[in-house]
Structure formats: structure tokens, C-alpha cells
Amino acid sequence: MTPTARALKAALLAACLWPVVAAAIPVIGGGVGGANISGWTNEHGNFAVEWGGAFMAAGSSGASYSAASSLFSLHTGQFAFAGGATNFTLRPGEVSIDVIVREDGTTSGDLVGGLATVRAGADGVPEAGIAGGEVVFVAQAIDAAALETDPWNVLFLFDVTYTHPALSSLGDYVTWQGPYAGSWGQGANFRPWDVSWNGGGFTFSDFYQTRRVPEPATLALVALAVAGLGFSRRKAS
């Protein structure tokens, strides 16, 4: 096979791989980790949720969503850090989440904005240099989802700013997940962001490590560049 034919074959292979590469980019509805989500794709980029990475977890906790004010609100003192590179437990950790999501939008709704704040409990974590009541990170909501699964899941993507390095193994982004035990906007009339939630709470809730991943076009360009590099080396030899 001539060098030109090899280069054409490599380019055709890269083109054929494009649907596979594109399909590998995580999107809502991926069905990963029992949460029916593998990541996020939005105007901020593409993100993969690391369900096996660092996380913060809480047991059953109450939350509310008001269709009148479009405000989702969760405040709990039951969070604890686990996983990742940190070997201490933040128990109890205090978490406050307030996010405004308007309209129903089926899955995503219309995210206006929101904030999550995580602080240490009264005793702090002395071995990590965290004082009692100290804020360890704040996070800005950049995406939202409500998924009609069993149990029904509510998820937010947050961009994180750390005020203490102890939890930084969570990464620059986190996904908050809460399977909701109540009944809200199900079935053919699935309108989660147009119904006030009541009659239940979250069976648990977690912050999961989330990382930015390349866009499909970037991956395709890398494949073509590698093919071109191989061709140029063969030609030079």
C-alpha cells in the first residue's frame, strides 16, 4: 500500500470513528451509576460524572421546590466526605443548596442560578486544619435536571470554588444527585419544574466528582492529526 493510500485509509478510519467518538461524550440519559446520567453537555462544555471518584454523601434529607417562587432548597447537617484522596471524615458537614429553576422544561428546566455552600460541623476537622463552622467550598449552579426514573432523580451541576484545600480532590466541578421519594410531575404530564414538591424527601443526596471532557469535534481533529503525523513520518522515511 502506498503512503498516500495509507493516509487516505487513516482519514477514512477517523471519519468512520466520528459517530463512536461523538456517542462517547456523556449526556443526560446515559444510565450510568443508577442515576440515569453519565454527564452533562451544555454551553459550558462537556462533563463526565465520576461515580466512583471522590464524593460527599448524606442520608435521608428533606428538600422543597416551590413552583410559585421557582426555588429549590435543601439545608442539612448530615453530610460526610468520603472517597477520593482525603482520608478524614467531615461529619457532620453542613450543606445549603438554593437553586432557581423556572418552567417545566421536562428534564432540564430553565436554570436561573443557584448556590451551594459546604461548611464543617461544630467540631470541625482538626487533623485537616478545618475549624468548626468553617466554609470549605462554595459552588455556582450551571445546569439542572429532573429525571423521571425510579426513584425520580434531581441533579445539579456546580462549578466549585474552594475556600479550604482539604476537599479539593472533588475537582473543579461537582454533580449533586438526590433520588426523590415524593411524587412530582410523573407520567405523561412530567412537569417537575412546574409542580411544588411535597409529601416526601430525598432518600439520600450526594456531591460527586465531575470532570470536563473534550468536545466531539476536538476528538475528531486529534484523530485526524495523529493520522497526518503518521503519514508525514512515513513520507520522511
166 or 3, higher pLDDT:
166
pLDDT of 11-45, one tens digit each?
444 444 333 333 323 344 444 444 567 888 888 89
Number of domains within the chain: 2
Q: What is the overall mean pLDDT for the chain?
A: 73
Distances (CA, A) of 41 to 33, 37, 162, 191, 225: 18, 11, 24, 21, 25
* 105 and 179, same domain (yes or no): yes
Across 83-98, average pLDDT: 73
Mean pLDDT of 163-192: 77
Q: Tell whether omega for the bond before 216 is within 30 degrees of 0, i.e. cis.
A: no
Tell me what pLDDT residue 106 has: 64
Asked if the peptide bond before residue 151 counts as cis, ω within 30 degrees of 0, the response is yes
Say how far apart CA 214 and CA 25 lie, in whole Å: 8
The answer to whether residues 110 and 17 belong to one domain is no
Specify whether the CB–CB gap between 184 and 192 falls below 8 A. Answer: yes
Range scoring the smallest mean pLDDT among 99-113, 167-181, 192-206:
192-206
pLDDT over 70 (residue 209): yes
Q: Per-residue pLDDT tens for 139-152?
A: 999 999 888 765 67
Verify that 7 and 94 share a domain, yes or no. Answer: no
Cα separation, 104 vs 202, in Å, equals: 20
CA distance 7 to 12: 9
Structure pTM?
Answer: 0.76
Does 100 map to a domain?
Answer: yes
Whole-angstrom Cα distance, residue 174 to residue 171? 7
Same domain, 13 and 99: no
Has residue 58 been placed in a domain? Answer: yes
For residues 81 and 111, which has the higher predicted lDDT (pLDDT)? 111
Q: Could you write out the DSSP letters of every residue in 180-200?
A: E-S--S-GGG--GGGS-B-S-
> Nearest 10 degrees: CA dihedral of 111, 62, 47, 43?
0
Q: What is the pLDDT of residue 24?
A: 29
Residue among 193, 172, 179, 191 at smallest CA distance from 99: 193
Residue 110: CA atoms inside 13 Å, Cβ hemisphere, count? 6
Parent domain of 190: 43-213
Looking at the structure, do residues 100 and 209 belong to the same domain, yes or no?
yes
pLDDT tens for 158-168 read 999 999 888 88
